[in-house]
Amino acid sequence: ETLDIYAPIANRLGIDWMKKELEDLAFYYLDPFAYQEIINAIAKKSEEQEEYISKVKQIISEKLAERGLSARVLGRVKHVYSIYRKMLAQNIDIDHIYDIIAFRVILKDVANCYEALSIIHSMWEPIPGRYKDYIGKPKPNMYQSLHTSVIGPFGERMEIQIRTEKMDRIANEGIAAHWAYKEGRKVDEGETERFSWIRQLLEVHQEIKNPKDFIRSVKFKLFPDEVYVFTPDGEVKAFPKGSTPIDFAYSIHSEVGHHCVGARINGKMVPLKYKLQTGDVVEIITSSKQRPSSDWLNIARTSKAKSRIRHWFKAQETERSISLGREILEKEFRKRSLNFSHFINSDILHEVAVGFSLKSVKDLLANVGYGKISPGQVVGKLCHLTAPEEKVEKPEEVEPEPDVRKKLPGGVKVKGVSDILVRLARCCSPLPGEPIVGYITKGHGITVHRAKCPNILKGSKDRIIDVEWDETGDGVYPVGVDLICSNSKGMLATISAALSNLDINIHEARINARPDEKSLCRFVLEVRNYGQLQKALSVLRNTAGIFQVWRRGFSAGSA
């Protein structure tokens, strides 16, 4: 409990002395034999260590003084639990741990810190990959320091931390020292966000009264597993466990993410779905021809990467709609013998856009492309705003014709061409592999229904058109599936595992317990086609604890 919860909390608060003390005390009780073995090994060399620390401190102090730098140099043996962790990580015993002493150089200001680093590196050879700049990029707990490892004066590995007095105080006292500096001043939004986890901790404590459940919840919410990887320049980046090169690419810049084609991990090429491991050195490979794929949303792990990917798709959809809207309006203007080029570059079309409560002509074109505004409506408003010498003949009120244009890959073909105005009906959620028809709506393009959808059978026959699935598509489609199952522990996990094995994602889930110790589960699944849905229904019907399964809108036992 202490090692899993309280010591990490002290670390997140930046209270270094408390973290070390908690770890050593917990270690003493958890493994007293190993604890005593390390204590004895340290005690055997105590005089030798003190002499070594004294000599190195003197060398560093004198060298810095020669360059006009006043510094406080400290040396210490690392705390017991950190030595034990190093033994486990490197699979060696205490006699083979050579860098159990660390030095700290404390100076006046940041400029002095970097100057001291340069002097130390000129004295002793730095060990590659061991330099970390936490001044330029502080840790989340506000810790700041320069870390380096060098080959010391006697050929030994030696760790050195370089920081200012203020940084040293915050490193030891944590948030308390930081707020002391901030007292009487407004705390910025970034700092409020940085310490939001404290509020989460209090909320968890108030909500959960069972101590075991509390500890389990804190470990899950506040200390999720992370991986730490390096850029080619040695910068450390932290990501949630399961992150991929796509997450890494978007952490650098959106453009790097958009054009990412692969990654070189530790010098070897890997696919984008590769799971990052702690210690990996990651180099992103880009191409100007690369564009994000919808699959990336399933591969990416971080919210930042997913947000950037979704934003890119939204921007692309808007651009396509603007282009389509322009084509539709141009065609309508030609039909009315109007000069489209004249109006598109005039203020009058902007007034038309404002008349539709839009901000710009681009917004107007996009809405025409989306099918939200018909070209006839645009011309109608134009005739009211045009000066007498530019009088436009008002068109007859006719129902807008469906304009057929290219849509996203994997959509529906209308007369052999994909259509950006096509959308799938929510009432029957048609899937590739099922017979379908199109229904022309007023100003909203074409809605695709299952051929036997009750709503399409009630509609006007004149508006029904032939459509077909684009067989080149590889997207996923939402479909409602309901089932009745036993209200037992682990049932939802069983259902989730069964669907996961079929590569089916649960987009939405609602569970309602019933008085008869059964539950009604209402899911929205993402499937590729009708065949995959049938397979899912079959698997669920043969799963123990599930009594009935049906596709929403159909009777139980049918789909």
Backbone conformation region of residue 410, classed left if phi is above 0, alpha if psi is from -120 to 50, else beta: left
Last residue of a domain, one of 390, 420, 452: 390
User: What radius of gyration do the chain's Cα atoms show?
Assistant: 33
> pLDDT by residue (tens digit) across 224-233?
567 778 888 8
Residues with Cβ within 8 Å of residue 90, at least 6 apart in sequence: 96, 97
Residue type, 40: N
Measured in whole angstroms, the distance separating CA 342 from the mean position of its chain's CA atoms is 46
H/E segment holding residue 242: none
Closest CA to 140 of 224, 82, 215: 224
Q: What is the mean pLDDT of residues 245-265?
A: 92
Confidence of residue 169 (pLDDT cuts 50, 70, 90): confident
Listing DSSP states for 185-229 in one string gives SPPPHHHHHHTHHHHHHHHHHHH--SHHHHHHHHHHHHS--EEEE
Coarse DSSP helix, strand, coil percentages of the chain, rounded to the nearest 5 percent: 45, 20, 35
- Per the prediction, the chain carries an average pLDDT of 79
Same domain, 91 and 157: yes
Same domain, 41 and 108: yes
Same domain, 384 and 457: no
Whether the CB-CB separation of 245 and 262 falls below 8 Å is answered with yes
Q: Which residue has the higher pLDDT, 392 or 365?
A: 365
Q: What is the mean pLDDT of residues 471-480?
A: 78
Residue type, 107: L
Q: DSSP label at 363? A: H
- Counting the structural domains of the chain, the total is 5
Q: How far is CA 401 from CA 367, 412, 446, in A?
A: 15, 18, 10
Same domain, 494 and 525: yes
- Distance (Å, whole) CA 363 – CA 348: 15
Helix (H, G, I), strand (E, B) or coil at 162: strand
Determine, yes or no, domain membership for 407.
Answer: no
Report the pLDDT value the prediction gives residue 343, as an integer from 0 to 100.
Answer: 77
Q: At what angle do helices 46-66 and 32-44 cross, to 10 degrees?
A: 60
Q: At what angle do helices 375-385 and 361-370 cross, to 10 degrees?
A: 150
Per the structure, the complete domain to which residue 505 belongs is given by: 477-551
> pLDDT by residue (tens digit) across 477-502?
889 999 999 988 888 889 988 998 89
Determine, yes or no, domain membership for 482.
Answer: yes
Determine, yes or no, domain membership for 70.
Answer: yes
pLDDT at 77 > cutoff 90: no
Determine, yes or no, domain membership for 396.
Answer: no
Determine, yes or no, domain membership for 557.
Answer: no
Residues with Cβ within 8 Å of residue 164, at least 6 apart in sequence: 106, 107, 108, 109, 110, 112, 113, 144
Same domain, 511 and 451: no
- b/e map 168-185, b = 16+ CB within 10 Å: bbbbebbbebbeeeeeee
318: tokens are 């808007």
Q: Percentage of the chain with pLDDT > 70?
A: 79
